Amino acid sequence: MSYNNNIEKRAYMNETHSYVKLKEGLIMKRRQDKAWFALFTIPTLFAFVTVVIIPFIIGIYYSFFSWDGIPANPKIFVGFENYAKLFGEQRFLTSAWVTTKFTVMTLVAVNVIGLSFALLVTTKLRVRNAVRSMFFMPNLIGGLILGYIWKFIFSDAFLVMGEVTGFKSIFFNWMIDPKYSLYAMVIVFTWQMAGYVMIIYIAGIGSIPEDVMEAAKVDGANFWQKLTKVTFPLLMPSFTICLFLSVSNSFKIFDVNLSLTGGGPNNATEMLAMNIYNEIFGYNNFGYGQSKAIIFFILVAAITLTQVAITKRKEVEM
């Protein structure tokens, strides 16, 4: 009995001993893990927090003040006055309306053209790769430089073309007409984005299984039926991405706006991003401009989130 007891006791002591050791090891390991976690994440987080998170919070704070941006001058707390004011400001509302029109027009143009290009270069043509590269090319050139190239085309080059060809009703200086300036913006943005969404549609078309297409062919479907009944439903995920990209990119457009029209003529093509830029750095209304920037953020977030939600739901239905 006592002998047995002794063994048990010894076994128990051994167990606790190794248990303590194990626990110590675990604590050590956990501490080490924490140190590694910090080492791997802190450099990125540090830059991210100082550049994105803190300015975002300060930005919300500034939007409740009236301030001209000069450090020596006082910031006056005005509560929601900035926000109340911007909903009654004609220029801001016009800018929001123009941006909406622009977004809708480019949404259609970019996707129709991009999808058509994708369908063209996924045929079995031998030139498809060369042409694909051509369509994608404008996307690599920055919006600022694209805008400058087209500014020349829509102004002086169009004037000269009008003189040479006689079609003066099309070839005139588009930059002095508010309506045509907006069309010019749509054309340049579409020119830049169509090749980009084309790439995404190509990837989508490439992932459609061969046998589905074969089956449709065997069933006697013509080109149009194959396109609308087979290709389009299976491209729903690509539609989600492309619609999202074109809406959010056109809503936030700035570079092309700055270089092509500069917001003119007479602020007729001043998009929201530019309106905010001008309010803050042009008119030095830092607080008021920042309240516009916050509303801009809310709009961008709302549009993209609803749009993703809607298209995601459609995907499931299909």
Partner 1 sequence: MKKIGRFLLGFFVVALGLVYLSPIYIMLVNSFKNRAELYQNTLALPSSFDFKYYADAMEKMDFLQSFFNSLLITIVSCLLIVLFSSMTAWMLVRTNNKLSKFIFMTFVATMLIPFQTLMMPLMQFMGKIRDVLGIPMLNTHGGLIFMYIGFGASMAVFLYHGFIKSIPVSLEEAALLDGASKFGIFWRIVFPLLKPITVTVIILDVIWIWNDYLLPSLVLSDRALRTIPLSTASFFGQFTIQWNLAMAGLTLTIIPVVIFYAAAQKHIIKGVAAGSVK
Does residue 226 belong to the site contacting partner 1 (CB under 8 A)? no
Nearest approach in angstroms of CB 213 to partner 1 is 18
Does residue 227 belong to the site contacting partner 1 (CB under 8 A)? no
Q: Specify whether the CB–CB gap between 230 and 216 falls below 8 A.
A: yes
Nearest approach in angstroms of CB 138 to partner 1 is 8
* List 143, 180, 239, 260, residue binding partner 1 (CB under 8 A): 143
* List 305, 309, 310, 318, residue binding partner 1 (CB under 8 A): 305
Closest CA to 256 of 280, 281, 242, 273: 273
Taking contact as CB under 8 A, which single stretch among the options 2-10, 92-100, 221-229, 290-298 is the one that binds partner 1?
290-298
Does residue 273 belong to the site contacting partner 1 (CB under 8 A)? yes
Taking contact as CB under 8 A, which single stretch among the options 8-16, 19-27, 92-100, 289-297 is the one that binds partner 1?
289-297
- For partner 1, which is the closer residue by CB, 12 or 283? 283
Site for partner 1 in 67-126 (CB under 8 A): 69, 120-121, 123-126
Site for partner 1 in 153-212 (CB under 8 A): 153, 156-157, 160-161, 164, 191, 196, 199-200, 202-203
Does residue 152 belong to the site contacting partner 1 (CB under 8 A)? yes
- For partner 1, which is the closer residue by CB, 93 or 141? 141
Nearest approach in angstroms of CB 57 to partner 1 is 8
